[in-house]
Amino acid sequence: MLKNSFDLNQIVYSFTPRQSGVSFIWAYHFTGLFPSQFEQVIINSKFAFNPDFEKLSSGKTFDLYAHILEKTKNHKALNWDILIDNGVLYQPISFVHANPAWATVAKSNISFDNIYQVQNEIANIFYFPFVTKVFLAYSAVLDQSNTNSDIDLIIVSKPFLGLSTTVISRFWLKIYFKITRRDVHPFLIHYLWVLAGKIGLKSAEKSMAKLYYRHKNSDRLKFDLGLIVDQKIDLDTYIAPNLGLLGFLARRQVILESALNPNLNLGNNIFLNSHKYPKSYFKTALKIVFEIFSMLLYPVFLLQYLWFWLFNRQNINQFVSYKIWHAFTKVGFEKSKIFRLDTKTIYTYHS
């Protein structure tokens, strides 16, 4: 798993806008510093917080961003000290009218609860055609989940005779999530909404919009299949390291205990108990049958590329190629505000 050497001050203010202090564990993971070294580093942290960075580091909190700037525009840098409390580092002034996550952590760890709630579905993912690896990413692994958060997934699929199978794995997984009502994206409702708007059916458009947001805001925990890649894609080099994508860099691989071996890197993983989830030979056989069936109809599955081209090719938050289907909204914001390192976009394979 890729590790990085970020500046501790930067790590703190990339967690803080999401109402979450950075734990000692994540601070070490991203900076290589031990808790005994934190005090010396943050003693000169008065200028650590950069409000303008927040808009990039917390894409879902634009309203909070504007609110904080309004409340703090007359404050001096002295007010942006980094504090250490109960095993986390944070900048308290960011929490204007907000509850810091560590204030309620004793009551409930929402990230852990969310993962625990869908562990059965996660275990089943391994039995879908060509799936070889499953990762969780973003809020669920950074302990930043709230009651409206979903579970962000990264899936790796193995090729078949040199042919990429990402579209096959993606198709069957999306079907599964829709049947179990776990898919974050209400596919049919969304495109009926789009169609109603294009042909001028205002009443139908409003109805579809209402159904769409009712689904998005429902209490049922959902999966966001944000990235599925071919086995040949190296996830450690897929994204150039930057603060806005800590949730990707901190991704955690889901591993069945039965798959443990002496060569496995045990760091930053999530293990599923083999007694609770023993290997199912029936599901394994079914996986093989679906793989053969899918390869016989391979051209049909490739029609997903046409669907993407028709509806999403202008969407800056999506990138699709033969070996990559990337639909996380973290890809970028507006075209004029894509975060760049030097002259390249943060997504090295997208350059």
Q: Which of 5-9, 95-99, 242-246, 315-319 has the lowest mean pLDDT?
A: 95-99
pLDDT confidence of residue 287 = 97
Other residues' Cβ atoms within 10 Å of the Cβ of residue 234: 10
pLDDT confidence of residue 118 = 93
The answer to whether residue 64 scores a pLDDT higher than 70 is no
**Over the stretch 129-157, which tens digit does the pLDDT of each residue have?**
999 999 999 888 888 887 778 899 999 99
**Over the stretch 270-307, which tens digit does the pLDDT of each residue have?**
888 888 888 899 999 999 999 999 999 999 999 999 98
Question: For residues 331 and 196, what is the distance between their CA atoms, to the nearest angstrom?
Answer: 28
More confident site: 253 or 13 = 253
pLDDT confidence of residue 349 = 42
Q: What is the mean pLDDT of the chain?
A: 77
Only one residue has tokens 């007010």, namely: 79
**Over the stretch 71-80, which tens digit does the pLDDT of each residue have?**
555 544 444 6
Mean pLDDT on 156-180 = 95
Q: Are 348 and 244 in contact (CB under 8 A)?
A: no
Q: Residues of 11-36 as b/e, b for ≥16 C-beta within 10 angstroms? A: bbbbbbbbbbbbbbebbbbbbebeee
